Every structure is written in C-alpha cells, then in structure tokens.
Amino acid sequence: MTNPSDYTPPKVWTWDKESGGRFANINRPIAGPTHEKELPVGRHPLQLYSLGTPNGVKVTVMLEELLAAGHAGAEYDAWLIKIREGEQFGSGFVAVNPNSKIPALMDRSGREPIRVFESGAILLYLAEKFGAFLPTEARARAECLSWLFWQMGSAPYLGGGFGHFYAYAPSKMEYPIDRFAMEVKRQLDVLDRRLAESEYVAGPEYTIADMAIWPWYGALAKGWVYDAAEFLSVQDYKNVQRWTDAVFARPAVKRGRMVNRTTGEPSEQLHERHDASDFETKTQDKLQAAG
Ligand SMILES: N[C@@H](CCC(=O)N[C@@H](CS)C(=O)NCC(=O)O)C(=O)O
C-alpha cells in the first residue's frame, strides 16, 4: 500500500484552513444561514428549490411521472439553487431546509405552506399526497420503503465516500478508494441480485424506490458519475444494466433528468422549469440560439 499521510490529528479539531478538493469553498462546520435572501415563489402549487444532481433528479423525475400519470396537482416550479455559489445558505433556503442541501420542497397547495426536505422524505410525501408509485398492500409497501431507505443509507458511501475520494479529493489515496470501491461494488451486487429476481427494485411495479435508486446507481452503471465505469467494472452487473435502460426509456425520466441540470449537452439542460412547455422552448441550446 502507498505511504499514508503522516498527519496526526490534534486534540481538538479547529476550522482554520480549507480542506482542499472540489467543494472545499462551500464546506463549513456550522449550520444556519450565511446571508439574507428570500426564495422566489412561482404560480404552481409545488415549489421546488434544487439542482440537477442525483438527489435533485429523484424529485424532478417523480414530479414528471406524476404529471404524466395525470396528477395535475403536481404542477411545479423548479428553481435553481447554485450550491457551488453557496445559495443553500441563504435565509430563505435554510427556512425550507435547515440542513442546507438540495432538494427542498414547499407545498403551497393548502391553507398553510408545508416544507419538506430530504429527497426520500419528499418522494414519500408526494407518493402519499397523490396516492401514486407506492404500493398500498402491506408487504409490497414494506418492500418499497425498505429499498427507498436502503438508497438513503447507501448512497453516502457512493457519493461522499467513493465519489469524493476517487474523483474529487486533492490527491489519490489508496486506503479510502479501496475501502469505498469495495463497498460500492457490494452495493451494486445487492442491487444486481435483487434485479435478477424482480423487474423493478420493489417488485413488478415501478415505484419511488426506483426513482430514488436510479439517479445514483443507474448513473453509475451508465458511467455518468465519477468517470468510474471501467474502474468498477459496471458492465458486469447485467441486471442493473437491464433495469437502468428500462428506467431511462421512460419519457418522464428523460424530462426529470433535464430539470435544474447545469452540465452536459445544452439541449438537455433546463435550468428552471415553470411550465411543461419549457422543455420545448427554454433548454440552454434554445436560449443560446435566441441570443
Ligand atoms: N440526504 C440528502 C442529501 C442531499 C445532498 O447531499 N445534497 C447536495 C447536492 S446532491 C447538496 O445540496 N450539497 C450542498 C452542500 O453540501 O452544501 C437528500 O437525499 O436530500
């Protein structure tokens, strides 16, 4: 193994220098707002404050699926929160999510607005509100919620663990890359075995469990995140590959993946979504062509 750092932790950790690596400028050890800034409010019942990362995509896919299934009450405004610029620390955003992370949702359809944060909680809230994409029979519902929470517990090892040390850390360190590559491959195997026996993650139906898991593990299987497809031999997980393609074939997934996206092909970036027609007229390629 390569030589580990000769760093000895001090008795008490203090915040006196940047940690280095991508996102170092937004990392801080204290919660709460850094500045005053109200959030915008659009005309629809649901106001989403987000960014097109895997956690954000879970919610925009759900909203697009609900609309495609005919739930008009799921109309939404999706506002862009630029986390690299610290917008998650504005007072308005912190009031919706005290944890200062996207995605955050305000449901303004009732007399009093309801805030929801944590992508898993948002998926569950919307599934219950509209009676969709969450089985009602006890065993099937338990299976769906088990996989939903599996994702919430597992993805930090993929993103904060593997992704951070393999792609973002200022230097490549064998110990953490090894540790988290092992865990991520184990997770892919868990998923692959499940998908060998079941069409979708929670059973024969497509549910919020698929919507939570696909933006992370489907993206990994496609080589869209961390440039790690070869390193992790993702093509070996045949059932994950089959399911990834099946989910990606859904038009609502394609649309949901475009919302609040600020990277990749301009034609696939819809920075903000305030109307269904925005997919035709407001993608970055169209806005750039219009000058
Ligand atoms: N467990 C949270 C995680 C959300 C999360 O980590 N969001 C990231 C982007 S994917 C974020 O907002 N990071 C900004 C920051 O850490 O300051 C969820 O699933 O909603």
Q: What spacing in Å lies between the alpha carbon of 127 and ligand 1's midpoint?
A: 21
> In testing the pocket of ligand 1, which one of 101, 123, 149, 213 has its CB within 8 Å of the most ligand atoms?
101
109-144 pLDDT tens trace = 999 999 999 999 999 999 999 999 999 999 999 999
**Mean predicted confidence (pLDDT) in 150-168:** 97
Q: What spacing in Å lies between the alpha carbon of 271 and ligand 1's midpoint?
A: 18
> In testing the pocket of ligand 1, which one of 28, 51, 55 has its CB within 8 Å of the most ligand atoms?
55
**Mean predicted confidence (pLDDT) in 195-204:** 98
CA-proximal residue: ligand 1, atom 11 (nearest): 101
Check residue 264 and give left, alpha or beta (phi > 0: left; psi -120 to 50: alpha). Answer: left
Q: Which residues line ligand 1 (CB under 6 A)?
A: 26, 53, 55, 83, 88, 100-103, 118-119
Please check the confidence at residue 43 and state whether its pLDDT lies above 90.
Answer: yes
Pick from 120, 97, 35: which is nearest to 106 by CA? 97
Return the ligand 1 atom nearest residue 160 CA. Answer: 6
Q: 187 versus 20: which is more confidently predicted?
A: 187
Q: What spacing in Å lies between the alpha carbon of 114 and ligand 1's midpoint?
A: 20
CA-proximal residue: ligand 1, atom 12 (nearest): 101
Check residue 41 and give left, alpha or beta (phi > 0: left; psi -120 to 50: alpha). Answer: beta
Q: In 69-135, where does DSSP find H-type helix?
A: 91-96, 119-130
Say what the pLDDT of residue 246 is: 98
pTM: 0.96
Q: What spacing in Å lies between the alpha carbon of 122 and ligand 1's midpoint?
A: 13
Q: 108 versus 28: which is more confidently predicted?
A: 108
Residue 1's pLDDT band, with cuts at 50, 70 and 90, is low
Q: Which helix (H) or strand (E) holds 116?
A: strand 114-117
Pick from 215, 104, 206, 100: which is nearest to 152 by CA? 215
Say what the pLDDT of residue 185 is: 98
Q: How many CB atoms lie within 10 A of CB 67?
A: 18
Please check the confidence at residue 2 and state whether its pLDDT lies above 60.
Answer: no
Please check the confidence at residue 235 and state whether its pLDDT lies above 60.
Answer: yes
Q: How many CB atoms lie within 10 A of CB 249?
A: 9
Residue 79's pLDDT band, with cuts at 50, 70 and 90, is very high
Q: What spacing in Å lies between the alpha carbon of 2 and ligand 1's midpoint?
A: 32
Return the ligand 1 atom nearest residue 27 CA. Answer: 17
Contact between 247 and 215 under an 8 Å Cβ cutoff? The reply is no
256-289 pLDDT tens trace = 999 999 999 999 999 999 999 999 999 999 999 9
Say what the pLDDT of residue 27 is: 85
Q: In the chain, where does DSSP find H-type helix?
A: 54-68, 91-96, 119-130, 138-156, 174-197, 208-213, 219-222, 238-248, 251-258, 278-281, 284-289
Pick from 164, 154, 212: which is nearest to 188 by CA? 154
Q: What spacing in Å lies between the alpha carbon of 165 and ligand 1's midpoint?
A: 17
Say what the pLDDT of residue 21 is: 66
Question: SS3 of 264, please?
Answer: coil
